[in-house]
Structure 1
Amino acid sequence: MTDPRYYAPSGGLPPQTQILTDRAMFTEAYAVIPKGCFSDIVTSFLPFWEGARFWVMARPLSGFAETFSQYIAELQPGGGSDRPETDPRAQAVLFVVQGTLRLTVAGTAHDLRPGSYAYLPAGADWAVRATGQGPARFHWVRKAYQPVEGLAWPEAFVTHEADHAPIAMPGTGGTWATTRFVDPVDLRHDMHVNIVTLQPGAVIPFAETHVMEHGLYVLEGKAVYRLNQDWVEVEAGDFMWLRAFCPQACYAGGPGPFRYLLYKDVNRHMPL
């Protein structure tokens, strides 16, 4: 099976002749960061990483989405870190979109390619290096783990999306499906990072309004997405950030599938 071809930013700067009208927006309920915003001048650098830069798409903000951060990491050949995480509370999901990586977890090496997925529990001993001839790019989703007395902590695992059959939503004939990497009833986990796929013409047929926060990165295709009271056109490379209870729905536009990487917080009481 050939590896998926997902959109990932490559940086650069637009020309001085480009007009400023754009789809970027930040509201009280959601944010849209179009792919054109991922330029060289908005990258960040992090301690103990070499040959690496990061586009930070989400971070906790009081009164907005509060539970997670999400980066797109870009590693030059040989780049990476032997001490990637400095917060012992932070669990992580890595999802590779371009290039190849070697992820080492507790001394065991795993070779990752586009579509590879890794879950790393809080406090895990891990390191990562780019192994190919060109840059490697991957999503890095971070959330402070919320332990529960009487529940064991989840363990690290590495897998690939090809090893998980998409689960169709009832009544959709498979035109709307979710690739799940964690069993929804495994209450050890307090976040899910899934892939949602809608075939051309498929819809989310109602305005979902719920307590889970979302980060949505469009991997493939295009759609018109309902965010709060607005309809927004989105395409591969765009990122959406939704606070709790923001209404959402979409129409998949075609000509190919519309697919996005979806974060949500789950399985815990609401802090009081």
Structure 2
Amino acid sequence: MTADYYAPHGGHPGQNQLLTDRAVFTEAYAVIPKGTMRDIVTSFLPFWEGTRLWVLSRPLSGFAETFSQYIMEVAPGGGSDRPETDPDAEAVLFVVEGTARLSVDGAEHDMTPGGYAYLPPQAKWTLFNRGTEPLRFHWIRKAYEAVEGLDAPDVLVLNENDIAPTPMPGTDGKWATTRFVDPADLRHDMHVTVVTFEPGAVIPFLETHVMEHGLYVLEGKAVYRLNTDWVEVEAGDYMWLRAFCPQACYAGGPGRFRYLLYKDVNRHMALRPPSRGAR
């Protein structure tokens, strides 16, 4: 089945539209609906030309603290030859519209919708839109947690459409995860996957775990349980969960419900705050 990815295009609602929407920010989770991603809330970055972005999440003390997530919008001819200013940052890119020309350590790749790239810290990379239509992609950033005796992960440039999803046991494939990284590869301290539910499929228990989450709905709709609340979400919405926030869902149909999922993995829990001046 051909994948379908929702991406925001900005603009503003008319003056005659009601203000009511589904945006909510609580101590345990946030829901940022697609209707909030308007021109007025875009941001810009140093050394990026012809580019604006929506910031979906950023580290906040007492909330989700490990990552940031952007939706980047790059006009034809735009891009950057100095995209990342933090040498300790690792990144995942996921293309939802258009074509990206990614150069990493001298190797060039054309990334189309469904394209995934993992970029380790210190990677030398550039990205440009060489096409005639806007490019839109997710950029997830994390400060890499190095471990003595483990090398940094390798660069990966893949496409979701070339990877067979892994079904969850006992679900007859109705709940499946597309994994870009081997879960047993402990060099990685974050995973970004695509989770797919067929119509009517469920997460059948309240997941409660240490991993923080960013969930961007790529396709379809569902009712999601977040902490003590049931919320409706659809393609283009974003959910941001702090550690241990209970979560479950019902996929509403009529089509598939799919989301891009971030989580932090494979590291000891820090037992003391970072030293003053540390990144």
Q: Name the TM tier (shorter chain).
A: over 0.9
> Aligned residue for 2:30?
31
Q: 1:187 to 1:118 in 2, by over 3 A?
A: same
After alignment, is 33-42 or 154-163 more displaced? 154-163
> Aligned residue for 2:68?
69
Segments of 5+ residues of structure 2 without an aligned counterpart are 272-279
1:58-207 mapped onto 2 (5 Å cutoff): 58-207=57-206
> Aligned residue for 1:243?
242
> Aligned residue for 1:221?
220
C-alpha separation between the residues in 1 aligned to 2:35 and 2:217? 13
Scaled by the length of structure 2, what TM-score is found?
Answer: 0.96
Amino acid at match of 1:261: L
> Aligned residue for 2:208?
209
Percent identical residues: 76
> Aligned residue for 1:260?
259
SS in 1 for 2:188: coil
**C-alpha deviation, 1:250, in angstroms:** 0.1
**C-alpha deviation, 1:132, in angstroms:** 1.6
Aligned residues between the structures? 271
Runs of 4+ deviating beyond 4 Å: none
Deviations 1:215-262 (Å, cap 9, x if unpaired)?
000000000000000000000000000000000000000011000000
Scaled by the length of structure 1, what TM-score is found?
Answer: 0.99
C-alpha separation between the residues in 2 aligned to 1:5 and 1:234? 16
**C-alpha deviation, 1:96, in angstroms:** 0.1
C-alpha separation between the residues in 2 aligned to 1:67 and 1:241? 12
Cα RMSD (Å) of the superposition?
0.8
**C-alpha deviation, 1:122, in angstroms:** 0.6
C-alpha separation between the residues in 1 aligned to 2:4 and 2:207? 29
C-alpha separation between the residues in 2 aligned to 1:174 and 1:135? 34
SS in 2 for 1:165: coil
C-alpha separation between the residues in 2 aligned to 1:162 and 1:17? 41
**C-alpha deviation, 1:163, in angstroms:** 1.8
**C-alpha deviation, 1:5, in angstroms:** 2.6
Segments of 5+ residues of structure 1 without an aligned counterpart are none
**C-alpha deviation, 1:155, in angstroms:** 1.1
